[in-house]
Structure 1
Amino acid sequence: MHETAEPPVMIIDDEPHLRITAGQTLELAGYAPLPYPGAEAALAELGDDFPGVIVSDIRMPGMDGMALLREVRRRDPDLPVILITGHGDISTAVEAMREGAWDFLEKPFAAERLVEVVRRGVEKRRLSLENRRLRAELEAQQAAPGPRLVGRTPAIQRLAAMVQRISQVEADVLLFGETGAGKDLVARAIHERSPRGGHPFVAINCGAVPESTIESELFGHEKGAFTGAVERRIGKFEHANGGTVFLDEIESMPLALQVKLLRVLQDRSVERLGANVPVPLDIRVIAATKVDLKAAAEAGTFREDLYYRLDVVTLPIPPLRERREDIPLLFQHFAVVAANRSGLEAPPLDAAGTSALLAHDWPGNVRELRNLAERYVLLGAAFDYRLEALLAGAESDSGELALPQQVELFEKSLLDQALTRHRGRVSEACERLGLPRKTLYDKLKKYGLRPEDYRHSDAP
């Protein structure tokens, strides 16, 4: 197969002048034409994950265009095939579209028409291959032990290497990073890659548990230990025996409780409230904080002895703005996850979308980026998939949307996706959405959608 930096386009036709003319047109438009006199010769050089599209005449000696289409669809259903039909041969064009052709060109066709159809096909192919690669990464992530740290920057690669190393060592860990930077993901990755991976991972947000009940939550209590203790309760530490305790926002833990936590860490045992017999613990403790604990200890808001006990291994989690090169990859990763979960597809990022991602400060870090990717998949159609509008939230007339408005936008985007996928064929859209025909028409009328507008849809 020819190697080229430009998007390649196979041109298959037994007429030399058409191959030459189409090739020159596409070359001027920035594509790499690959001419073939017949389908068999083209198929012999068609490798896996071909990055371009195929343009083929239907009427050819030997293997004709329809047979070529079926063979390409068998090998790779996502590879766009554009078929050239004779003038007025509408029935053949309809059959080709039913067989899965990306589009068709009717002779004679203008050069601009050829370039436009190829442009859309190449963009669709790029999206398909990118999604294929990301889905493969997701499958690899699911097969690998524990959550995966997505990114290619040196900062995230160093973090991934440290996580792998620390997971194999029995040591308590302190994670330091801003809100939303991924401290919980790192904690789970350490746990699941460690020999403790098959045992409980117990996460406790020290800032979310009421101070009046946090001691009982962590250490448990015996029946009658205090008013309302009508039965024995096993605390989080005891429940995690054999596994890992993750203490998030540990800077929020009351000072009085910090003393008891220090004793648990030193003795590796816990006493339930109202009990006199300690329960031995086999646990790893991972704590996380968004503040400088050493400064907090010096200020008297955090116990200094507990800080030094936790500071055996400290892992800093880089904020998203310090690894901007990872932002487009992370966004695509989260978008694929959301698309797989919802059954929707979203168009690929364009230059404006990538610029909007890179220009944003990301105060909410990875959590904010994940939420944006999910909105892009679920509600992006209502914003014309403009990331700058989704980020601002105010460039649309909707502004701050109430729940019913968000539900309507989501419903409209589902209808739009179904009609686009099935090129306005109502019966197939009904089947995909699980709706009776009348219900679908009522909803289309409500949102001003017309099936005929999707008969030659541009979207993949």
Structure 2
Amino acid sequence: MRIFIVEDDPFYAELLAYHLSQNSEDEVLQWGTGRECLNNLYLNPSVVCLDYSLPDLSGEEVLKKIKVTNPDVRVIIISGQEDIQTAISLLKMGATDYIVKDDDTRERLWISLTNLRHQEGLQKTIHNLQEEVGRKYSIDRSIVGSSPAIRKTFSIIEKAAKSKITVSISGETGTGKELVAKAIHYNSARSGKPFVAVNISAIPKDLIESELFGHEKGSFTGAEARRIGLFEEAHGGSLFLDEIADMDIAMQSKLLRALQEMEIKRVGSNKPVSVDVRLLVATHKNLGEEVRAGRFREDLYYRLLGLPIQLPPLRERNTDILLLAKHFIKNYCRENGLEPISLSPDAQRKLMAYAWPGNVRELKAVVELACVMTDSNTLESEHIQQMHSSPLDALLTEELSLKEYTNRIIRRYLDRYDQNVLLVAKKLQVGKSTIYRLLQENQL
């Protein structure tokens, strides 16, 4: 560290400089007045050890000007006064420490600088970790693929990262919705702040308010201490609400108010707490259909819609299947200290022929298991296990007439969409009268 000692008593300044120079990694510079110190701030000191009583400027004036010039410089006040109010005032202005001149001053100053050095090391570590996470979730590295469907998604993610707009991510289970949310956060202006994720469907509906907004001590049975909610944890950063469609309708109104006012109230408190979060939401359901069915508030739907990102299922990214498989194999080998493993032509054909109903998540699980099963540096077809036949393959195993297949498809759609004939007719592009007739004739 480069340390400034600002002290008008030459003997005392020399004494402090000698003491601090015992650490050969530090550079110690001395200045006799406040103006000399301010005129040399271009040298970018790490710490300024500032005498409170200087001949030209008060320690308070010098501290203010240092903080205006470079707020990151740490300032330790060394004073002959033991006035508590003065010390508190200076600490509120941004001083790092306040040390009274006495026989223990040098020792206390050494300890204070040691603590600062430790804090600086921690900050560098945090900064390096943030940079590493940022590289990990860079758009082109975190989301693997070159198919037209995923390239289109990349361009939307890049737009989302450059803006503050709410993002709604939809797609089938296993398509990588949380990965997209992280890519948006870590490539945005909020990347240095928290990314907080929660799966709404995993939290009981009577606990979701406390989870999101926090609670006060004694607000309910078991609330033994104040708890900060996820909104406050994500302050300044991004909050990712996965499976937002599963949120209880009563809680939806409270979420809407929090987003409109950008403030929350902890359970058991009437005091509003301001929050600054960028909201990212995801669901595997069709939110528009949830609104029409009365299970999701229309006003919240429009509040959350923001920039919609629809993730394509893996079956629509055929050219990415082998690319992803090789990526997962490479990562598995690196993490487990294995030699590189390749895919045989038969194994590649088997992977390409499958419909992947579990999407990218299923592909990752299958190829990692294959890496465990092989005894060589090549994955063969027999190593590719735990793959279920596609819905179409299962449907065609029975020898039925076209009419029987048609009726079975209509019945399956009616079950999926809660017997909503109009919606099914629209989905299958058939007349609603045809479905009503088949129902009346008990053919479904």
TM-score, structure 2 as length reference: 0.55
Match of 1:348 among 342, 351, 359: 342
Pairwise CA distance, 1:392: 4.1
Letter in 2 for 1:279: V
Q: Deviations over 1:136-189 (max 9, x none)?
A: xx9995495896211111111111111111111011110010000010100000
Match of 2:357, SS state, is coil
- Find the partner of 1:380 among 369, 374, 378: 374
1:272 corresponds in structure 2 to: 266
2:360 corresponds to 1:360:
no
- Matched residue count: 257
In the alignment, what sits opposite 1:231?
225
Distance 2:363 2:335 in 1: 17
Cα distance in 2, alignment partners of residues 282 and 175 from structure 1: 21
Q: Which residue of 1 aligns with 2:326?
A: 332
Residue 236 of structure 1, CA deviation: 0.5
3-state SS, counterpart of residue 279 of structure 1: strand
Matched letter for residue 284 of structure 2: K
Residue 147 to residue 185, structure 1, CA distance change in 2 (3 Å): farther
How far apart are 1:387 and its partner, in Å?
3.8
1:15-34 correspondence runs (5 A): none
In structure 2, the partner of 1:173 is 167
Native 8 Å contact 2:342 2:377 kept in 1: no
Q: Which runs of 4+ in 1 moved over 4 A?
A: 138-141, 143-147
What percentage of residue pairs aligned between the two structures are identical? 45
Aligned-residue offset at 1:385: 2.9
Residues 195 and 293 of structure 1, relative CA distance in 2, 3 Å threshold:
same
SS in 2 for 1:207: helix
Query: Within 5 A, what are the aligned runs for 1:222-261?
Result: 222-261=216-255
**What is the CA distance between 1:226 and its match in structure 2?**
1.3
Aligned to 1:281: 275
Amino acid at match of 2:157: V
Is the CA contact 1:346–1:377 (under 8 Å) kept in the aligned structure 2? no
| Distance (Å, rounded) in 1 between the aligned partners of 2:141 and 2:202 | 24
Q: Check whether the contact 2:263–2:272 (CA below 8 A) recurs between aligned residues.
A: yes
- Native 8 Å contact 1:181 1:319 kept in 2: yes
Distance 1:178 1:317 in 2: 8
Q: Kindly provide the amino acid, as one letter, of the partner of residue 255 in structure 1.
A: I
CA contact (8 A) 2:241 2:282 kept: yes
* Cα 1:233–1:387 shift into 2, 3 Å: farther
How far apart in 1 are the matches of 2:158 and 2:324?
20
Partner secondary structure for residue 281 of structure 2: strand
- After TM superposition, the structure 1 = structure 2 runs for residues 3-22 of structure 1, keeping only pairs within 5 Å, are none
- Superposed CA deviations along residues 32-78 of structure 1, whole A, max 9, x for unmatched, are xxxxxxxxxxxxxxxxxxxxxxxxxxxxxxxxxxxxxxxxxxxxxxx
Matches of 1:226 and 1:249, distance apart in 2: 26
Paired amino acid for 1:243: G
What SS does the aligned partner of 1:286 have? strand
Matches of 2:237 and 2:141 in 1, distance apart? 16
Instruction: Give the alignment's Cα RMSD to 1 decimal.
Output: 2.4
The C-alpha deviation readout for 1:56-102, integer Å capped at 9, x for no partner, is xxxxxxxxxxxxxxxxxxxxxxxxxxxxxxxxxxxxxxxxxxxxxxx
When normalised by structure 1's length, the TM-score is 0.53
Aligned to 1:27: none
Which has the higher Rg, Structure 1 or Structure 2? 2
Deviations 1:294-324 (A, max 9, x none): 1111101111111111112100000000011
- Which residue of structure 1 aligns with residue 147 of structure 2? 153
CA apart distance, 1:386: 2.7
* Aligned equivalents of 2:367, 2:341: Cα separation in 1: 12
